[in-house]
Amino acid sequence: DAQVYLVVRVARLGARYVLLLAEDRTDSVRLDEVRKDFIANISHELKTPIGAVGLLAEALDSASDDPVQVRKFATQLTREADRLAKITLEIIELSRLQGIDALANPSRVSIDQVVANAIDQNRVAAEASNISIVTRKPSGAKVLGDEPLLVVALHNLIANAIQYSPDNSRIGIGVSNINHTIEIAVTDQGIGIPEDERDRVFERFFRIDPARSRNTGGSGLGLSIVKHVVQNHGGDIRVWSQPGKGSTFTIRLPEAANASTSSGADQ
Ligand code: ADP
């Protein structure tokens, strides 16, 4: 909405004049609201797994005579604890990102390197489902920014592609340079995203239906982290999808201008 928050100060200048000073506080008021929302979301998201951990610990205690039950509750307890740890780490990552300007002190980042690192981090998960990750030949693309953050972004896209794809499918990663814009596309052959949910998947804590994924331990924060990283780098992210066929997430980033060193000439 178009509300504006002004702080107005009035000072009298002699008998005939007053001085009005208006300070626009709109940005800081909005930031405050975003922060309050975020904290409300966090408490809501943490309550469920914390409650579950408590209940499971009690169940474990009262089932101590029955080894089968003990094992069952212990497995569930581990799963909830893992989920809690994952959500907590993602919350920390996201709040850290909200205060970062990746372009304040940027380095020249090789996108081929970012892609290689992000694939490496997902290799075990992909192999577990016999999913192959296919890349094209090195692009030579360079952008300005923060390499670890870009790896986090691409890591999350690949992790989702694995998460929402069937066993034995393929994930393709393509990098292209279109008029000085670097496009990194991650394409899967997974379940896809219904059209009316496509804009919302980048919202914090938004999940379509936890039962859709092979592992229900998501937090709904992965894509909002990606979006933050990309926006911090002056880029944007879009999604194309065909339910039942697959999805393509495309990150677009401004190409780094040619440095005095070589590297810009590769295609
Ligand atoms: P989550 O932790 O639930 O994976 P994300 O923010 O990463 O959270 O994603 C938000 C939602 O978008 C997911 O719950 C999932 O339903 C949907 N989604 C994300 N990536 C894909 C994909 N590659 N294919 C299908 N659905 C996806």
* Contact between 64 and 70 (Cβ < 8 Å): yes
Task: Establish whether this prediction's ipTM goes over 0.95.
Answer: yes
162-186 in b/e form (b: 16+ CB < 10 A) is: bbbbeeebebbbbbebeeeebbbbb
116 or 264: whose pLDDT is higher?
116
47-79 in b/e form (b: 16+ CB < 10 A) is: eebeebbeebeebbeebeeeeeeeeebeebbeb
The angle at the Cα of 188, spanning 185 to 194, to the nearest 5 degrees, equals 100
| pTM of the shown model | 0.78
Cα 209 to middle of ligand 1, angstroms: 9
Q: Hey, which residues does 151 pair with through a beta bridge? A: none
Residue ID of nearest Cα to ligand 1 atom 14? 207
Ligand 1 lined by 153 (C-beta under 6 Å): no
pLDDT value for 262: 46
pLDDT of 19 higher than 70 = yes
Pick the atom of ligand 1 nearest to 212's CA.
16
* pLDDT (average), residues 124-133: 97
* pLDDT (average), residues 59-78: 91
pLDDT value for 216: 58
pLDDT 10s digits, 146-197: 999 999 999 999 999 999 999 999 999 999 999 999 999 999 999 999 999 9
Cα 192 to middle of ligand 1, angstroms: 9
Residue ID of nearest Cα to ligand 1 atom 13? 207
Ligand 1 lined by 247 (C-beta under 6 Å): yes
What is the percent of the chain where pLDDT is above 90? 60
Q: 265: pLDDT confidence band, cut at 50, 70 and 90?
A: very low
Cα 255 to middle of ligand 1, angstroms: 28
- Cα–Cα distance, 251 to 154 (Å, whole number): 9
Q: How many Cβ atoms from other residues are within 10 Å of residue 115's Cβ?
A: 25
Residue ID of nearest Cα to ligand 1 atom 12? 201
User: What value does the mean pLDDT of the chain take?
Assistant: 89
pLDDT 10s digits, 70-121: 999 999 999 889 888 888 888 888 878 777 778 888 999 999 999 999 999 9
Ligand 1 lined by 187 (C-beta under 6 Å): no
pLDDT value for 46: 85
Ligand 1 lined by 161 (C-beta under 6 Å): yes
Pick the atom of ligand 1 nearest to 191's CA.
25
pLDDT of 226 higher than 90 = yes
* 3-class secondary structure, 266: coil
Ligand 1 lined by 191 (C-beta under 6 Å): yes
pLDDT 10s digits, 6-16: 899 999 998 89
Pairing, β 6-13 against β 236-242? unpaired
Which residues touch 46 (CB under 8 Å, ≥6 apart)?
Answer: 84, 87, 88
From 160, 96, 120, 143, select the one nearest 259 (Cα to Cα): 143
